[in-house]
């Protein structure tokens, strides 16, 4: 169950502490994720050079690794950054975009899991299932099944990796392998905004940076903000173009009280 006081406290901390979130993310998501993080109060930085990622990762409150437009050079940087962040004891979020769509993506996601030990893994249902089962085929980067179908896989992935696992979808599931929490906010229009999932991963990074001692709760709170802001914004939006704009505005304007009152588990 969500603790409303803790939810409000985490969101307040993001706004007050403005944690630096180091994103090694995909080209499609960069602008939108940066704007969403800024609107929520965090301080995003995008950096991928092998020459600086260890430095950047270790000054940041959290490192978010997203393989959406990976290639060999970027993967090396992801691993360098992830190892440095893990050695420091800091928080790493992995978004295994498109795992299952190509063998290269599945393999790379596992390489990052094994070498960097991410603390949180957030994906859609197809991606989470693909990480555990070669028989599931993602359709590109969009999920081909509902989040509910992936709950069992999420629990297993959490057990196997020690990470908190987050599945986004109609209902969001957040689990550490023992507890399973849910968020039921959002809008069917949200998947029509590209990189909404990637932005959720970055938001999880921001909340984890201010609440590193309880990553299940931090992830739950970040997904609560994403779902609530998406729901409020979609109600004002004629389509996914306006949703993108209204989503950023909502993150900027929403109060802690409005967040706590609107969230549904």
Site for a copy of itself, rule CB under 8 A: 20, 22, 26-32, 34-35, 38-39, 43-52, 55-56, 59-60, 68-73, 77, 98, 101-105, 139-142, 191-195, 237-242, 244-253
Residue 261 Cβ vs a copy of itself, minimum distance, rounded to whole Å = 20
Least Cβ distance, residue 210 to a copy of itself (angstroms): 15
In angstroms, what is the minimal distance from the CB of 216 to a copy of itself? 27
| Least distance (Å) between residue 209 CB and a copy of itself | 12
User: Alpha helix locations (H) across 18-133?
Assistant: 30-40, 53-59, 72-88, 103-116, 125-132
Give Cα separations from 44 to 17, 35, 95, 205, 237 (angstroms): 13, 8, 16, 10, 26
The length of the chain in residues reads 265
User: How far apart are alpha carbons 196 and 35 in whole angstroms?
Assistant: 12
CB-nearer residue toward a copy of itself: 55 or 159: 55
Q: Is 205 helix (H, G, I), strand (E, B) or coil?
A: helix
Strand 91-95 versus strand 164-168 pairing type = unpaired
Minimum separation from the CB atom of position 200 to a copy of itself (A): 16
Among 184, 170, 167, 191, smallest CA distance to 243 is for 191
Nearer CB in complex with a copy of itself: 17/264: 17
Q: How far is the CB of 133 from a copy of itself (least distance, A)?
A: 18
Cβ closer to a copy of itself: 87 or 162?
A: 87
> Of 99 and 174, which CB lies nearer to a copy of itself in the complex structure?
99
Q: What span, in angstroms and rounded, lies between the C-alpha atoms of 177 and 3?
A: 20
Residue 62 CB, shortest distance to a copy of itself, in Å, is 12
178 class by beta-carbon count within 10 Å (0-12 exposed, 13-18 middle, 19+ buried) = exposed
Element (H, E) at 17: helix 4-17
Closer Cβ to a copy of itself, 34 or 157, answer by number: 34
Q: Which is nearer to a copy of itself, 151 or 251 (CB)?
A: 251
Taking the C-alpha atoms of residue 174 and residue 240, their distance in angstroms, rounded to an integer, is 26
Q: Please, which residue, 101 or 228, has the CB nearer to a copy of itself?
A: 101
Indicate if the alpha-carbon torsion angle 71, 76, 80, 85 is positive or negative.
positive
């Amino acid at each position: 169950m969500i603790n409303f006081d803790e939810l409000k406290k985490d969101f307040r901390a993001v706004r007050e502490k403005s944690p630096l979130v180091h994103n090694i993310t995909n080209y499609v998501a960069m602008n939108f994720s940066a704007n969403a993080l800024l609107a929520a109060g965090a301080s995003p930085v995008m950096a991928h050079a092998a020459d600086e990622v260890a430095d950047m990762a270790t000054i940041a409150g959290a490192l978010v690794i997203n393989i959406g437009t990976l290639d060999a050079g970027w993967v090396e940087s992801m691993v360098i950054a992830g190892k440095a962040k893990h050695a420091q004891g800091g928080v790493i979020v992995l978004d295994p975009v498109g795992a299952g769509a190509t063998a290269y993506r599945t393999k790379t996601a596992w390489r990052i899991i094994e070498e960097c030990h991410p603390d949180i893994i957030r994906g859609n249902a197809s991606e989470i299932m693909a990480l555990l089962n070669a028989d599931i085929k993602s359709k590109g980067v969009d999920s081909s099944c509902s989040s509910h179908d992936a709950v069992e896989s999420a629990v297993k992935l959490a057990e196997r990796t020690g990470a908190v696992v987050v599945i986004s979808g109609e209902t969001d599931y957040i689990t550490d392998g023992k507890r399973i929490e849910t968020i039921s906010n959002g809008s069917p229009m949200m998947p029509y905004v590209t990189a909404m999932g990637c932005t959720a991963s970055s938001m999880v990074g921001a909340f984890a940076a201010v609440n590193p001692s309880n990553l299940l709760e931090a992830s739950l709170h970040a997904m609560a903000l994403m779902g609530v802001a998406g729901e409020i914004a979609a109600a004002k939006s004629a389509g996914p173009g306006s949703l993108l704009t209204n989503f950023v505005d909502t993150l900027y304007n929403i109060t802690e009280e409005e967040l706590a009152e609107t969230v549904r588990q």
